[in-house]
Amino acid sequence: MNVNTGLQVPYCTGRNVPATPIPAGACDCHHHIYDPVRFPYRATDTRNQPPATVDCYRLLQKKLGTTRNVIVEPSAYGTDNRCTLDALRVMGKENTRAVVVLDRSTTDEEIRQMHEWGVRGLRFNINSGGGPEALDEIEELAERVAPYHWSVAFWMSADLAVSMEDFLRHLPCDVVFDHRGHLPADEGTAHPAFAAICRLMEEGKAWVKLSGLYQDTKKADYADTIAVGKAYVAACPDRLVWGTDWPHPNIYDKKLDMPNDSDMLDALMQQAGTEENFRKILVDNPAVLYDFD
C-alpha cells in the first residue's frame, strides 16, 4: 500500500511514496531543470514553462527515494546550456550527470570543460526531420564527443528511428532513445522501430529510456506504454534505464493533469518483472551509461 508522506512536490500529483522498495543508488535518468528568472528561455520558446528548480527537484528525489540523476537540457533553452550546467554544479557530479545540446559553434575546450563538470551525453531533437545537413552535424558532433565516451540521445519519431537505423549504427558513440523510441500507441511493438531498436540494443549500440509513461499513450492507466516497456525488458534488460521526465513539460504544454511520479516508478516494477531487472534499470545500467562510480 502506498504511504502518504504529506510531501507535495511541484508538477507531481499525489503525496504517496512508491510502494516498491527502491534500491540504493537508484537513478532518475531523464529530468529537466527550468529557471527562467536567472536563465531566460530562447526567443522562439512558446511553452513558457514555469520554474522547476533544483530545490523543487530535490523534493521529488525525497519522495521517490532516488539518489542519482541525469539533467537533460530542455528545448526551451536551445543550445544555451547555462541553466543545466548551473544545476549540475549545484547538485554535484558525485551523484548528478547532464546531457546537453550543442552545435558546431561549441569549441573543443568547452566540451572538455563540460566533461570535467559531469556532462556525459549529447542530445538531438530531430522529430521534425533528419535531413542531410542535420545528419552531417550529428555525425560531426558525435565524433567530437566520442573521445569522452559520451552517449548521443535522440528525441525522434519511430519512423525516423527506422529510416536512420544504419546511420545510428555507425555513429562513434552509444545511442540513447528517449521515451521508448516514441512507438505509436496504436502500433506499439508492431511498429518496425521496435525491431530496429532491439537490434541496436542487442548489438551493444543502443539504450532505451523507459521514461514518461504518458508519452505516446492512449490509456489512462498507461497499459499500452507499460506493455512496450515489458517487451523491451524481455528483449534486452541490460540496455534499459528509467526517468521521470519531470517537470513533465509535454503535460504542461497540453494542459493535462500532472502524473504521479511515485505511481510511474511503481509501474517500472511491472515492466521489469523481477527485482533483478528492476535494480539493473535503476542502478546498474545508469552507472554504466552515465559513468557513475
**Domains present along the chain, CATH in parentheses:** 21-289 (3.20.20.140)
Which pLDDT value is given to residue 105?
A: 95
Q: Is the pLDDT of residue 268 over 60?
A: yes
pTM of the predicted model, to two decimals? 0.95
Pick from 6, 66, 7, 77: nearest CA to 35: 77
Q: Is the pLDDT of residue 1 over 60?
A: no
Which pLDDT value is given to residue 7?
A: 82
Comparing 126 with 30, the larger pLDDT belongs to: 30
Please tell me the distance from the alpha carbon of residue 118 to that of residue 113, in angstroms, as a whole number.
9
CA 58 to chain CA centroid, nearest Å: 17
> At 238, which amino acid appears?
D
Average pLDDT over residues 124-143: 80
Q: Is the pLDDT of residue 16 over 80?
A: yes
Sorted by sequence, the CB contacts under 8 Å of residue 80 that are 6+ apart come out as 39, 42
Pick from 274, 265, 185, 259: nearest CA to 225: 185
DSSP alpha helix (H) spans, 131-239: 132-145, 158-163, 165-169, 192-202, 223-235
Told to judge if 55 belongs to the known catalytic residues of this protein, a careful annotator would answer no
Which pLDDT value is given to residue 132?
A: 55
Which pLDDT value is given to residue 133?
A: 64
Q: What is the DSSP string of 39-107?
A: SPPPTT--S-PPPB-HHHHHHHHHHHT--EEEEE--GGGTT--HHHHHHHHHH-TTTEEEEE---TT--
Buried-exposed string 157-184: b where 16+ CB fall within 10 A, e elsewhere:
bbebbbebbeebeebebbbbbbbbbbbe
Which pLDDT value is given to residue 57?
A: 98
Least confident of 6-15, 115-124, 237-246, 270-279: 6-15
Sorted by sequence, the CB contacts under 8 Å of residue 279 that are 6+ apart come out as 23
Pick from 102, 123, 129, 124: nearest CA to 113: 102
CB-hemisphere CA count at 13 Å for 23? 17
Cell of 182: 516514441
pLDDT digits (tens, 9 = 90+) for 144-169: 999 999 999 999 999 999 999 999 99
Which pLDDT value is given to residue 138?
A: 95
Please tell me the distance from the alpha carbon of residue 1 to that of residue 86, in angstroms, as a whole number.
38
Catalytic residue chosen out of the listed positions 216, 245, 261, 263: 245
Which pLDDT value is given to residue 131?
A: 56
Give residue 185's pLDDT band: very low, low, confident or very high (50, 70, 90): confident
